[in-house]
Amino acid sequence: MNKYVGRFAPSPTGDLHLGSLVCALASYLDARAHRGKWLIRIEDIDPPREPAGAAEKVLSTLKLFGFEPDDDVIFQSHRYHLYEGALERLKQLNYVYGCSCTRREIAMAAKQQGLRENVYPGTCRSGANKPARSWRFKVPAGRFSFHDRYYGVLSQNVEDEVGDFVLKRADGFWAYQLAVVVDDGEQGINNIVRGADLLDNTPRQILLQQALSLPHPTYMHIPLVLAEDGKKLSKQNGATELNTREPDKEILRAWKHLGFEEFKFQTPEEFLKKAIPVWSSSKYFRP
């Protein structure tokens, strides 16, 4: 069996919050419990949404919580050439096409065709009638199933629920779907543990792995941390911020969100060490 390689891949669009700490903790413990490698990858491919210094702050916060990666941290902003190479390959394989649609045109066409909001109606699949602005992946028809270690078997009809999706954006930046698949493949990531907000992105990523002949990692999505009002954590409903002056308290908060009982420890490093065997015998540790 291949050695387990996992990762935590935050987008530095702001400070690390409780939800991201839960995902970092889950991915770290799962890798350690499998005697695997754990890597950090900064997904900084969306400069318009990244405040200056956010990546450095995320990294220093992770360090404060005792998370030590097994290799150098990777920055997606240094890897555009890999995404370009993958797009070229997909072009050669006839998996992509240039799209000239604006957001407004997409919304109007989707409405006319009775499609759900945000579903791309395939307007440019048979040729764009204006200069292309973005590049889209041709989604094959049919339902796609995958196994999630936490949620079991899930399926999605990507064509109906998403449509042909963007790989390179109209503003020239790379789309998350392509970058994540290329990097997971290139870094040999074979186990992905991340937040359940990305569950419905997974079929798209599996389709891209297939198109690029990359191996499929296993997936485990961790239930989202909800605010007290039952909604997803956000700046508006508070509770998102981490108090970096009290890392012990905050890591316990993340641990309890995962459903575990608290225990005594002196430092975040000691906490992580003691948490690994608890994780190994928990509901999260299953094939």
CA distance 238 to 39: 29
The answer to whether residues 19 and 195 touch, using CB atoms and an 8 Å cutoff, is yes
Q: Among 92, 81, 82, 90, which Cα is nearest to 211's?
A: 90
Smallest gap from residue 200 Cβ to ligand GLU (A): 12
Q: In this chain, which stretch among 6-14, 132-140, 211-219, 223-231 interacts with ligand GLU, using CB under 6 A?
A: 6-14
* Part of the chain binding ligand GLU (CB under 6 A), chosen from 4-12, 87-95, 134-142, 278-286: 4-12
43 counts as binding ligand GLU under rule CB under 6 A = yes
Should residue 9 be labelled a site residue for ligand GLU when binding is judged by CB under 6 A? yes
The count of residues interacting with ligand GLU (CB under 6 A) is 7
Among 107, 109, 170, 198, binds ligand GLU (CB under 6 A): 198
Q: Write phi, then psi, for 122 (nearest 5 degrees).
A: 85, 15
Give CA–CA dist 136/100, Å, rounded: 10
Shortest Cβ 128–ligand GLU spacing (Å)? 29
* Residue 21 CB, nearest approach to ligand GLU (Å): 12
- C-alpha closest to that of 106 among 91, 97, 98, 116: 116
Among 194, 204, 221, 253, binds ligand GLU (CB under 6 A): 194
Is 10 one of the binding residues for ligand GLU (CB under 6 A)? yes
Burial state string for 230-250 with b = 16 or more CB within 10 A and e = fewer than 16: eeebeeeeebbebeeeebeeb
By CB under 6 A, which span of 7-15, 134-142, 207-215, 230-238 interacts with ligand GLU? 7-15
Tokens representing 98 are: 């240039």
Please report the sign of the dihedral spanned by the C-alpha atoms of residue 238, residue 244, residue 279, residue 198. Answer: positive
The set of residues, in sequence order, having a beta carbon less than 8 Å from that of 89 and lying 6+ positions away, is 212
- Single out the segment in contact with ligand GLU by CB under 6 A; choices: 8-16, 90-98, 132-140, 271-279: 8-16
Question: Rule CB under 6 A: is residue 11 a binding residue for ligand GLU?
Answer: yes
The stretch near ligand GLU (CB under 6 A) out of 3-11, 92-100, 102-110, 213-221 is 3-11
Sign (positive or negative) of CA dihedral 193, 197, 203, 205: negative
Smaller CB separation from ligand GLU, 214 or 278:
214
Residue of 158, 180, 181, 242 that binds ligand GLU (CB under 6 A): 180
- Closest CB to ligand GLU among 194 and 253? 194
Q: How far apart are CA 256 and CA 90, in angstroms?
A: 43
| Residues at the interface with ligand GLU (CB under 6 A) | 9-11, 43, 180, 194, 198
